[in-house]
């Protein structure tokens, strides 16, 4: 069926957010043929120049990178009733974790110990932030290619030290807690059990984690990489688990080769630094390929439109792992 356009509204059970999934259109690879990772780079690489020869290093890009503005207050407000940049102090930072010099391969191409080193560096930065107690959340992301926001093709992870818990994460934490009260146990653990039993949206499973196309995907070929063992805080993960989960993460990225390895964003969702949500939350990574621009309906309604059903997406992605 080449046409189509019948949308199925799907609700994320944890957050309560909706997405519109096209369910009557077969997968058409040519529709995404222009979205590919670019191997081009400049003659010089700043990360290679400043990185270490054989180890992960951290490069600070900006201290005081964030302002909390736009909140209506009674004090220190301008004529508009909103705070301005001059009314508040800067907070947080923006840094990047850099692979050793000359490392421009993708996550599924590099040796697993290097991925483990990245995960260990992320864990240690979370632990340090938790001990310092001066920030709310550290958001780690991997941006692959310019279309996903990358300024270099050097293998790296961005770290944003945020003075507030991101809205998306707060929705997940609250929704998971409500489901835990209603149904008992961790919502993410239940989800993994259900997806493994069904197999329809399961892409990969190993002793350390599962790669799943979520039922209410927000982007085409979106996947979640969820650890098997329940834990809310990535900062609490032991080294043995990091080593095993590094392979799970590589499998999730390798699956994208079934659709030509498009640009993507890889995002860590973990517990806030100042909150304990051990029983109800479950850390995980989300992988969002960047295959198409945002449409007008999405901007107008706030409802993501996904042009391929996650069940079909999972079947396509499994091809790269068989």
CA–CA distance, 167 with 51 (Å, rounded to integer): 33
Distance CA 139, CA 13 (A): 23
Rounded Cα distance between 251 and 245, Å, is 10
| Nearest by Cα to 139 from 121, 162, 172 | 162
DSSP codes joined into one string, 278-306: TTT---EEEEEE--SPPPHHHHHH---EE
Q: Which phi and psi angles does 44 have, rounded to 5°? A: -125, 150
Find the distance separating the first CA and the last CA of the chain, reported in whole Å. 27
- Note the pTM of the prediction, 2 decimals: 0.89
Joined together, the tokens standing for residue 285 give: 């990574």
> What pLDDT band is residue 313 in, cutting at 50, 70 and 90?
very high
Within 13 A of 15's CA, how many CA atoms are on the CB side?
Answer: 17
Pick the closest to residue 192 from 209, 175, 207 (CA basis).
Answer: 209
Using the predicted structure, report yes or no on whether residue 249 has a pLDDT greater than 90: yes
Alpha helices in the chain (DSSP H): 46-50, 112-132, 167-183, 187-198, 239-255, 296-301, 310-318
Cross-sheet strand order for the sheet of 91-98: 57-66, 91-98, 156-162, 137-144, 264-269, 284-289, 223-227, 209-212, 202-205
Percent of the chain scored above 70 by pLDDT? Answer: 84
The conformational region for residue 76 under phi > 0 = left, psi -120 to 50 = alpha, else beta, is left
- Under the banding of pLDDT at 50, 70 and 90, the label for residue 32 is low
Indicate if the pLDDT at residue 39 is higher than 60: no
- Average pLDDT, whole number, for the chain? 87
**Domain assignments of the chain as residue spans, ordered by start:** 7-26+44-321
Question: For residue range 200-248, what is the model confidence (pLDDT) as tens digits?
Answer: 999 999 999 999 999 999 999 999 999 999 999 999 999 999 999 999 9
CATH label, 7-26+44-321, candidates 3.30.428.10, 2.40.10.10, 3.40.50.300, 3.90.180.10: 3.30.428.10
pLDDT value, residue 40: 46
pLDDT digits (tens, 9 = 90+) for 177-205: 999 999 899 999 999 999 999 999 999 99
| Segment 40-58, tens digit of pLDDT | 455 678 889 888 998 999 9
């Amino acid at each position: 069926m080449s046409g189509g356009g019948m949308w199925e509204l799907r609700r994320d059970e944890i957050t309560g957010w909706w997405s519109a999934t096209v369910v009557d259109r077969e997968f058409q690879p040519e529709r995404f043929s222009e979205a590919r990772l670019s191997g081009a780079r400049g003659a010089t690489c700043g990360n290679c120049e400043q990185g270490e020869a054989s180890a992960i290093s951290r490069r600070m890009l900006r201290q005081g990178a964030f302002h909390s503005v736009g909140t209506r207050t009674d004090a220190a407000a301008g004529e508009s009733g909103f705070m301005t940049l001059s009314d508040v102090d800067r907070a947080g930072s923006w840094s990047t974790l850099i692979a050793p010099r000359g490392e421009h391969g993708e996550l599924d191409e590099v040796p697993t110990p290097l991925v483990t080193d990245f995960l260990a560096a992320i864990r240690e930065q979370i632990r340090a932030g938790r001990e310092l107690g001066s920030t709310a959340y550290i958001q780690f992301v991997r941006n692959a290619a310019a279309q996903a926001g990358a300024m270099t093709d050097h293998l790296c992870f961005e770290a944003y030290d945020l003075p507030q818990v991101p809205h998306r994460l707060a929705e997940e934490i609250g929704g998971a807690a409500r489901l835990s009260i209603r149904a008992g146990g961790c919502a993410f653990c239940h989800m993994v059990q259900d997806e493994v039993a069904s197999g329809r949206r399961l892409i990969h499973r190993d002793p350390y984690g599962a790669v799943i196309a979520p039922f209410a995907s927000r982007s085409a070929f979106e996947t979640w990489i969820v650890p098997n063992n329940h834990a809310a805080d990535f900062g609490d993960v032991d080294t043995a688990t990091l080593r095993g989960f590094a392979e799970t993460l590589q499998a999730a990225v390798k699956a994208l080769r079934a659709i030509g390895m498009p640009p993507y964003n890889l995002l860590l969702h973990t517990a806030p630094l100042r909150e304990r949500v051990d029983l109800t939350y479950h850390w995980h990574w989300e992988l969002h390929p960047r295959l198409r621009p945002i449409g007008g309906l999405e901007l107008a309604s706030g409802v993501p439109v996904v042009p391929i059903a996650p069940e079909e997406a999972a079947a396509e992605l499994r091809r790269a792992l068989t």
